[in-house]
Amino acid sequence: MSRFPELVLAAALLVAPASASLAAQDAPAAGKFGIGREATPEEVAAWDIDVRPDGLGLPEGRGTAAEGMAIYDENCASCHGDFGEAVDRWPVLAGGQGTLENERPEKTIGSYWPHLSTVYDYVRRAMPFGNARSLSDDDVYALTAYLLYLNDIVDDEDFELSKENFTSIKLPNADNFIEDDRESEPHYADKSDPCMRDCKPDKAEVKMHAAVLDVTPENADDNAPQGGID
Amino acid sequence: MAERQQVLSPSRRGFLTGGLMGAAALAGTGLARASEGEEVITEIQDWNRYPGDGVDARPYGQPSQFEAHVVRKNVPWLTSDSISSINFTPLHELDGIITPNGLCFERHHAGIAEIEPGSHRLMINGLVDRQLVFTMADLKRFPRENRIFFLECAANSGMEWRGAQLNGCQFTHGMIHCVAYTGVRLKYLLEEAGVKTAGKWLLAEGADASAMTRSIPMEKALDDCMVAFAMNGEALRPEQGYPIRLVVPGWEGNMWIKWLRRLEVGDEPWEQREETSKYTDLLANGKARRHTWVMDVKSVITNPSPQAPITHGKGAMVLSGLAWSGNGAISRVDVSIDGGRNWHAARIDGPSLPMALHRFYYEFDWDGSELFLQSRAIDDRGFIQPTKEQLRSVRGPNSIYHNNGIQTWHVDGEGVVENVEIS
């Protein structure tokens, strides 16, 4: 305890208004509750494996396209096909370049993905499906190199991808992403009151029936379209 | 034991009788002997004579056996398998604004992680003063809040971009739910770690085998995001992220990371798979929008709808539906019964909360003629729900995500309802 009781009292008076305002709020304002403990470097390293487009987070390591082919054939081809073309409805990994404006675009690593970092990161964190986190860092470099090869982004099967040359690879579709600009679309920009009476001439006419397609689970036949969500 | 059997079997008979009576009433023959009165009234029913289950029979109660059809449903052809897949909330069977926990749609990328809460940890790392680890017990010592929000999958209605495809609002609009979350403001957790000035982005990561990750701008994280451990008053369901999930009000469901285990602070977005390959919106010119986070103003008529036809014939009827917006509260819903030629203001009933479902009703006399039902929501930022034609004219048909176009149901003279597109 302080040997100067009047100082303690003064300090109490100084903090009193702050306490009162805190009590008046639903929850305390910015501040520390002293809850939780420091994470150890080993713990952070075990969970923080994400990789950014600028290469931040890449581990040491390397692997060639040829090495990647062996790993791919054993671990990946049963779903993604021998050449990344996919089996059944599993995701296509290669091909489709130049199809993005088509009626049915094919979105793959080579045709659509903007960053190679995403390939490395995603394969390392979530693939193979059903046995995630089973590949070594070198395995993932080799697989990533092979996926570049399958997409004709590198043409030498001896091409070696490593932490050192990783960010020198640019994917073909890198520059085709734009920020969300939905608010500028005409139907959103126009905030005048919408029409309420006699808004369209003529009676409504059906242009498309869901029942004709007949793909709803209750009565679907085998003509169901290809997937769209994965 | 014999006595017990006796008590049980009559109620089984009661179930069958009740089912037949219901079918008969629907077919319009139930009143054949109306002068003598309905048997369900004139004869003593089993449930009126025999006692039912005692209080120990149902420690965790389930819906009535007569509601067994009110369940989530899957559309198998949508995905390669059921582990990374989606199912649908039965919107046509629900009312009000709160979704029952057991009916909230599911979307997993590597199935349901079953995590013992004592083994769950939440880590905060990156550009912070102190990298921290929290246990579940730690998280429950922070100040709590209760908030009601909708969670809508970015792909909700995505199968309908090219036109009418699935016949029922469960399938066209059921990747959505709305529950009351209890949890901790994300802001408090981040402040506990101390976000450095350069920390402009947050990476949230799940503990499941997909290790789902999304980048979230720090302004949103500090504004209204929560780490929730309860929904509708009880612990999260395993399929909804037990023991904790991220709540990102008004934003696409993909960002609401389930089984949340890690939050990393950084100075740039990570551009992970779920914000590059997926959850980017391809436009007709080959460009794609990224970071399309907000779920725009939207509505759907849930009754009548293809799974909920009109069975009562002409006369007074209740049209019911849901409206919502990631931009705020719904200020108005208009309903048309003639395919958008004329509109009528619907009645919003119940709480009107920002970024939550709103329930609307429109009561009218049906004269038995063909109807083209539509609803059009307007939010409190003045955004008006567009038609599908308006959306497609700007975006083309390949955006997959963010289809909030006006839905049309065609009702024929028999009351049968179909998903259609109209002129």
Task: Kindly report the three-state secondary structure assignment for every residue of B8-60.
Answer: HHHHHHHHHHHHHHHHHHHHCCCCCCCCCCCHHHHCCCHHHHCCCCCCCCCCC
Q: How far is CA B227 from the centre of its chain?
A: 19
* DSSP state for residue B163 in the 8-state scheme: S
* Residue of A113, A188, A199 lying closest to B342 (CB–CB): A199
**Phi and psi angles of residue B139, each rounded to the nearest 5 degrees, phi first:** -60, -30
Residue B49 forms part of a structural domain: no
In this predicted model, what pLDDT tens digit does every residue of A83-134 receive, in sequence order? 999 998 899 999 999 999 999 999 999 999 999 999 999 999 999 999 999 9
Query: Which CATH number does the domain housing residue A65 bear?
Result: 1.10.760.10
* Residue of B123, B132, B282 lying closest to A47 (CB–CB): B123
Domain stop point among B289, B321, B346: B289
Residue of A nearest to B73 (CA): A217
Distance between B171 CA and the closest CA of chain A, angstroms: 8
Tell me whether residue A59 is exposed, middle or buried, using C-beta atoms within 10 angstroms of its C-beta: 0 to 12, 13 to 18, 19 or more.
middle
Residues B278 and B314 placed together within one structural domain of the fold: no
Domain stop point among B264, B289, B314: B289
Q: What is the ipTM of this complex?
A: 0.89
Alpha-carbon gap, residue B358 to B353, rounded angstroms: 8
Radius of gyration of chain A (CA): 29
In this predicted model, what pLDDT tens digit does every residue of B99-111 receive, in sequence order? 999 999 999 999 9
Residue A37 forms part of a structural domain: no
Question: Is residue B10 over pLDDT 80?
Answer: no
Residues B259 and B370 placed together within one structural domain of the fold: no
Question: Is residue B158 over pLDDT 50?
Answer: yes
Residues B316 and B207 placed together within one structural domain of the fold: no
Question: Is residue B371 over pLDDT 70?
Answer: yes
| Cβ–Cβ below 8 Å for A27 and B188 | yes
Please state the domain count of chain A: 1
Domain that holds residue A68: 53-176
Residue B187 forms part of a structural domain: yes
Neighbours of B411 (CB within 10 A): 22
Residues B285 and B317 placed together within one structural domain of the fold: no
Residues B257 and B311 placed together within one structural domain of the fold: no
pLDDT at B230: 98
Residues B254 and B162 placed together within one structural domain of the fold: yes
Residue A217 forms part of a structural domain: no
% chain B with pLDDT above 90: 89
pLDDT-derived band at A214 (thresholds 50, 70, 90) equals confident
% chain B with pLDDT above 70: 92
Residues B283 and B306 placed together within one structural domain of the fold: no
Residue of B75, B224, B227 whose CA lies nearest to B153: B75
| B124 vs A contacts (CB less than 8 Å) | 36, 39
Residues B237 and B105 placed together within one structural domain of the fold: yes
- Measured at the CA of B149, the angle between CA B143 and CA B152, to 5 degrees, comes to 135
Residue A45 forms part of a structural domain: no
Residue B224 forms part of a structural domain: yes
* Residue of A118, A182, A218 lying closest to B272 (CB–CB): A118
Residue B396 forms part of a structural domain: yes
Alpha-carbon gap, residue B165 to A213, rounded angstroms: 6
Please state the domain count of chain B: 3
Residue A205 forms part of a structural domain: no
Residue B263 forms part of a structural domain: yes
Packing angle of the helix pair A116-126, A137-150 (nearest 10 deg): 130
In this predicted model, what pLDDT tens digit does every residue of B232-272 receive, in sequence order? 999 999 999 999 999 999 999 999 999 999 999 999 999 99
CA distance to B152, B174, B223, B371, per residue, from B157 (Å): 10, 8, 28, 22
pLDDT at B82: 87
pLDDT at B11: 41
Residues B133 and B181 placed together within one structural domain of the fold: yes
Pairing mode of beta strands B226-231, B176-185: antiparallel
Q: Structure pTM?
A: 0.89
Domain that holds residue B353: 298-420
Residue B4 forms part of a structural domain: yes
Query: Which CATH number does the domain housing residue B285 bear?
Result: 3.90.420.10
Pairing mode of beta strands B288-290, A177-179: parallel
Alpha-carbon gap, residue B395 to B102, rounded angstroms: 35
Residue A123 forms part of a structural domain: yes
Residues B206 and B260 placed together within one structural domain of the fold: yes
Q: Does B388 touch chain A (CB under 8 A)?
A: no
**Phi and psi angles of residue B191, each rounded to the nearest 5 degrees, phi first:** -65, -30
Cβ-count burial B318-331 (b if 16+ within 10 Å, e if not)? ebbbbbbbbbbbbb
pLDDT-derived band at B315 (thresholds 50, 70, 90) equals very high
- When comparing pLDDT for A26 and B355, which is higher? B355
Residue A4 forms part of a structural domain: no
pLDDT at A6: 47
| Cβ–Cβ below 8 Å for B77 and A30 | no
Residue A83 forms part of a structural domain: yes
Residues B249 and B376 placed together within one structural domain of the fold: no
Question: Is residue A26 over pLDDT 50?
Answer: no
* DSSP state for residue A156 in the 8-state scheme: -
Residue A106 forms part of a structural domain: yes
| Cβ–Cβ below 8 Å for B423 and A53 | no
Residues B391 and B270 placed together within one structural domain of the fold: no
Query: Which CATH number does the domain housing residue B399 bear?
Result: 2.60.40.650
Residue of A nearest to B397 (CA): A103
Domain stop point among B233, B259, B289: B289
| B80 vs A contacts (CB less than 8 Å) | 79, 88-91, 227, 230
Neighbours of B29 (CB within 10 A): 10
Q: Mean of the per-residue pLDDT values for chain A? A: 86
* DSSP state for residue A168 in the 8-state scheme: G
Q: How many helices (H) and strands (E) does chain A have?
A: 8, 5
- Comparing B78-82, B161-165, B365-369, which segment has the lowest mean pLDDT? B78-82
